[in-house]
Amino acid sequence: MNLPDGLLDGSWTLTAWLLFVPLALFAVWQAPWAVLADSVRLNAFLGMIVALILLWQMKAGIKPGLSLHLLGATVFALSFGWALAFVGLCLVLVGVSLNGAAGWQAFAANALLMAGVGVAASHALHQLVRRLLPPQLFVYIFCNGFFASALAVMAVGVVSCLVFAAAGTYPADYLTGEYLPYFLLLGFSEAWLSGMLTTLFAVYRPDLLADFKDAQFLGKK
């Protein structure tokens, strides 16, 4: 994660931009911007961006591009939906890139791997939980907050390793032995943080969760 410029060759960088631009435009078009008219939701949106900029700077790595940091995609998606979450994480990446922690040429690749894969995995699992499991508070917090966030980070790790191996950036055996296993540990940390925030929001500020209904989950009339 946080790829520097030059790590991927020109064809991969160009492909990433060709995929990122239409996806970003579609997310901007689909985003429910009206929710940000509420000052509370707007402050939460901006606060998450600032917090994640700081969080993404706290990373550990062994080689260029092979860094690890918490993601926050699941909480963002639960709070604002997939489109605003994608836009918000792209703004986080802008802040990280301005601080020199990621390359501008690699911006599209970074956005697709962290924002794209992270939000897509979180949103897909959230929809699956809504379809298959009963609308209970424990199910919402455990499955959407804890479990989905861990799997989202692991999905980012798997896709990143596949990209690095396919592009010839690093050998596949090195990635599977020295990089990918650490995403299991990172997934546990992500699950703890995201689950804690989801629990706090659900109990004290359910209005900050996009589709959390008090009457449905807490039995309020």
Q: Is residue 98 domain-resident? A: yes
Q: State the average pLDDT over residues 134-159.
A: 90
Is 86 inside a domain boundary? yes
For strand 60-61 and strand 67-68, is the pairing parallel, antiparallel, or unpaired?
antiparallel
Q: What is the chain's mean pLDDT, rounded?
A: 88
Q: Is residue 166 part of a domain?
A: yes
CATH code at position 149: 1.10.1760.20
pTM of the model: 0.91
Instruction: Compute the distance between CA of residue 172 and CA of residue 180 in angstroms, rounded to an integer.
Output: 10
Q: Which domain holds residue 71?
A: 10-217
Q: Is residue 5 part of a domain?
A: no
Would residue 162 count as lying in a domain?
yes
Q: What distance in Å separates the CA atoms of residue 65 and residue 5, rounded to the nearest whole number?
A: 9
Please give the average per-residue pLDDT across 88-95, as a whole number. 95
Please report, rounded to a whole number, the percentage of residues in the chain having pLDDT higher than 90: 55
Residue 73 domain-assigned? yes
Instruction: Flag whether 64 is in a domain.
Output: yes
Distance CA(191)–CA(176), nearest Å, equals 22
pLDDT digits (tens, 9 = 90+) for 95-143: 998 887 777 888 999 999 999 999 999 999 999 988 888 888 888 889 9
Answer whether residue 219 shows pLDDT above 60.
no
- Tell me, yes or no, whether 134 lies in a domain: yes
Per-residue model confidence (pLDDT) at position 162: 93
Whether the predicted pLDDT of 216 surpasses 60? no
Number of domains in the chain: 1
